[in-house]
Structure 1
Amino acid sequence: MEQRRFSGKSHWYHETQARTCQADVQPLVPEAARVNDRFLLDLVVPDACLRTHRAWLDAARAASLHLLPDTLETTRLATLSCYDRLSTALTVAQVFGVQRLCNHYAARLAPLPGPDSSRESNQRLAQITQYARQLASSPTLIDARCRTQLSDVGLTESDRVTFNQIIGFVGFQARVVAVLQAINGQPARWLPGIDSQQDAPGERFAAPEADWQADIPSPQAGYLRPAQREVLAQVRRVPVLEPIADGLIEDENALLLLATLVGALFSGKHAPLLGLVSARINGSSHCFHRLSREVTDSALPDAVRNGERALLAWSHNHPEERALVQAAQVLTRSPDRFSAAQFTPVLEAGFSRDDALRLLSLTALCGWLNRLKIGLGDALPGQTATGPA
């Protein structure tokens, strides 16, 4: 049968089947593709704020250009096309419901030719769309079988690393944009049919310790390029990334940019608290157990583990942290609903605007890290983990 290619995706909720319409179809907001800042999407941000946060914002912009370029050449080991990447980005943006992101990725995806109409292509696109939606909306649904299914439809180990990085990055981007819109006082626009993410089941955190094991083979040192060896040596010194550095080295540039973001954001006394909240909601038991050993209040891990009421009771004695936790919970579960109603109480609790932005951006970064660990391996209860999360 002759294979056919057709262009055009007319709106946010794209299909996995190639369209049969010969005419080019424009996206809802075609100008959303033409932005100067691929990370903030030309969102108006005070100059002073941009200067203060320039280090990690520059890394985020570079990650956007690297993971979601306008053009690229696929190879036998790196098969994800621009269409695959932008389709994934749009799927994740739809899950989180931040309208600015949906418009941007829909506008960039629209003119690209879709995959051919063969059964294999449709199965591949359907599988990666389903996986991206699940990892974004309900990370605990991802297991070894889901990861094997990606390999079954032709994704290589390098593809899987890039694919999971894209899902994590777009989730990070959605939450940072939501926070900056709240700083600007923009109202949250809820899209119909988008539900809040449900917290992971508490039993995932019942084991006292959990080690993490990648299901992507660690590369042999002799097969690494010099640039990969250099990046790996550097990233292994970052405690947050040390457990997953070997699994992510297939794309050393993305790993280095992620390490830059971790170095700029993952610091301060509130970092373990926000990491625990994110890990508890997303279901990353490995992140949760490692961070539990970093907090100074021994009652905090149990409070986070035991759910909303226990954490609320703990926060009665910690008014400063209470507003921060409540903002982080909304941002993690429903970035589309995050607004000044959550951001203003953080300022009223005594945090400066810049500190609040950094801490909530750290919350967004924790969601990225949680999804990398869930998407690339499993926590193994009963083994001893060492070092911070």
Structure 2
Amino acid sequence: MNKKVFNKNIISFYIAFIFITIASSLPHSVLTVLLFQKGLSLSQIMIVQAVYSLAILLSEYPSGLLADIYSKKNLFIISKFFLILMFILVLCGKNIVVMSIAWFFYGISSALDSGTIDAEIINDLKTLNQENKVSKFISNTNRFNFISLLIGSTIGSWIYYRIGIRFYFISILLTLLSILIIQIFYLEHSKMSRPNDSNALTGMLKQINSGITELKGSFDLKLMIALTFVSQFFFQTHYQIWQALFLFKGFNKKNFFIYYIIFQLISFIAYSIPFSSRSINKKSKRYLSVEGLIMIIGLISIPNNNKIIFLVSYLMLVFVFTFFDYFSNVLFSEAVSIERISSLTSLKSSCGRIASLISMMLSSFLLNLFSVSFVVTLNFACAIISSLVVISIFVKKQARPTPE
């Protein structure tokens, strides 16, 4: 592949990705307030979020299969039209039915986007024999994501109280710009994964069969999917309940935006650590052991009533789990084949989505019986113990001598 074309593609992707992330994150810091204004109750907001997760769960793996068979660029663009449709429905709708439909389209958009242009860039790096740069690409993408989230949520929280829900027009404009950038400047070239079958269903069935075969033959892929699954018990608890937990601990809700920024900065740092599968050695295994110890200490300290001890422990857990997420993404991307990267990446994400739904349903039930602190500690304990088991299996496997 022409390196000049590749560099142009990756810059186009980064710019479009930034625009999309800002467009999607404008309502983040005021979303609950916005949905209250639309007439939804707190329980109805949870239903809308569940519809979003269900849409992703139902459509993500099929969309990954399509991305392996057909044009990743076209699927990326189609996903953005679904996103625009979601923005329009939120602008015009005012009840739970319309909001549920809007978030269902949002889920389809997220699912279609999974494993498209980003996966093709990873394939291009492999084709150019630059596998060592896969981790850098994933790191850069996530760092741009965190920066864009901060920009979008900050701007959104400021302009919402000035122009109201009309800030979705800005989201629509940014999304249209991202579509134009990809359409004009991104050159799709890969034809290697396109089957000759005239029947799309036949092609998808072949892709499923070959994907299962590849997954069965790769212990690393299975371990990284397992790590993604168990870590969702931490991430979903963190995303959905951290504000309620901080209120329970006596933190001032006026400072929540500061903590949100700190979380993003921690994630930015975690994804900035140089890492690839080739760099795994005895030293890095020691680091993983230290991070395991930090997780245990953090878990023990979560129930502590001292605000400083609690906050430091909580932030340490956010850092470690974010790094593990980076760790699993890099190893999975480097191990998966070029032909099936989209479908298996979507499968990995779908497994994480199943764990997310399980975690949310269990937490919703347990919160009626126990304190928020107990429910968070229970979820964190499940995530930490399971993650340590997966990591220890991976470390032991790496310690075994490779057969000649």
**Would you call these one fold, judging by a TM-score over 0.5?**
no
Q: Which has the higher helix share?
A: 2
The structure showing larger relative contact order (alpha-carbon pairs under 8 Å, at least 6 residues apart) is: 2
- Give TM-score, length-normalised by structure 1: 0.29
TM-score normalised by the chain length of structure 2? 0.28
